Amino acid sequence: MNKNILQSDALYQYILKTSAYPREHQQLKELREATEEKYNNSWMILPVDEGLFMSMLLKIMNAKKTIEIGVFTGYSVLNTALSLPDNGKVIAIDMNKEYYETGIPFIKKAGMEHKINFIHGNAMQALNDLIANGKEMGSFDFAFVDADKVNYINYHEILLKLVKVGGIIAYDNTLWYGSVVAPEIFTAQYYRDSREALVVLNSFLATDSRIESSLLSIGDGLTLCRRLY
Ligand code: SAM
Ligand code: CA
């Protein structure tokens, strides 16, 4: 599967080879290669060029405390951890621990383990627990959402409470391999349900007065939402 929205594969390979691969951190590269070797769903990993963009964004924002929903083997989490100051923190939520265990040796080798708090469980439950604890409200600089697409719209309501005013919530795969305008490209029900949910989400975010938003055509579509109040 072409995990980039650019339809010219040659142009995308040019971006990767000329600009992105030379700047990919060694431990990210090794984690990516180990994931590609072990899992046939390794296309789920964050594209390298998108990772570099997020890294720069986190540094421009001076982000210190972030949350990620959907960890897989930890590529985006390690990318985030590498972009935070030494006392920075990432809360990383995934219901599959085995995936994350594959990434741990690379995270340790990069010296980033102390910044990551992995929560094993269902994301909605974990987010509700953070709300219930009271101390986390409005405390996150940045949230990256890359798990079950059908729940993005539900995560949005909770993340608007957890992310501080001026903070960013980033939703990944919002163009869903181009299927938002071409529903016929998917026959499997999971992909079709995800598409329906993302089409609804994209329209919703475009008029949500609590945020300003920007849908970037990087990777498979990345929508940045900045909390306004
Ligand atoms: N961000 C990762 C990266 O860049 O490598 C990729 C994440 S992958 C696309 C999606 C992950 O979301 C999977 O590891 C899956 O186990 C997790 N996931 C899906 N639904 C979930 C849920 N309801 N709660 C927690 N994790 C979930
Ligand atoms: Ca993704």
Residue type, 132: A
61 within domain boundaries? yes
Task: Say how many domains are in the chain.
Answer: 1
The C-alpha atoms of residue 180 and residue 194 are separated, in whole angstroms, by 10
CATH of residue 186: 3.40.50.150
pLDDT at 1 over 70: no
3 within domain boundaries? no
Which percentage of the chain shows pLDDT scores above 90?
A: 96
Mean pLDDT score, 112-137: 97
pLDDT at 83: 98
Query: Which residues span the domain enclosing 200?
Result: 9-227
57 within domain boundaries? yes
Residue 220 Cβ contacting ligand 1 at under 6 Å = no
Between the two ends of the chain, the Cα-to-Cα distance in Å is: 39
Q: What tens digit of pLDDT does each residue of 137-172 get? A: 999 999 999 999 999 999 999 999 999 999 999 999
173 CA distance to ligand 2 middle (Å):
5
182 within domain boundaries? yes
Q: Return the ligand number nearest the Cα of 71.
A: 1
2 within domain boundaries? no
pLDDT at 98 over 70: yes
136 within domain boundaries? yes
Under the banding of pLDDT at 50, 70 and 90, the label for residue 6 is confident
Under the banding of pLDDT at 50, 70 and 90, the label for residue 2 is low
The C-alpha atoms of residue 110 and residue 88 are separated, in whole angstroms, by 15
1 within domain boundaries? no
Whole-number average pLDDT of the chain: 96
pLDDT at 115: 98
Residue 76 Cβ contacting ligand 1 at under 6 Å = yes
14 within domain boundaries? yes
Mean pLDDT score, 9-35: 96
Taking the CA atoms of 82, 86, 88 and 93 in sequence, report the sign of the dihedral they define. Answer: positive
Residue 45 Cβ contacting ligand 1 at under 6 Å = yes
Mean pLDDT score, 113-141: 97
The C-alpha atoms of residue 101 and residue 176 are separated, in whole angstroms, by 27
Q: What tens digit of pLDDT does each residue of 177-191 get? A: 999 999 999 999 999
Residue 152 Cβ contacting ligand 1 at under 6 Å = no
Q: Return the ligand number nearest the Cα of 121.
A: 1
Give the residue among 168, 211, 172, 214 at the shortest CA–CA distance from 71.
172
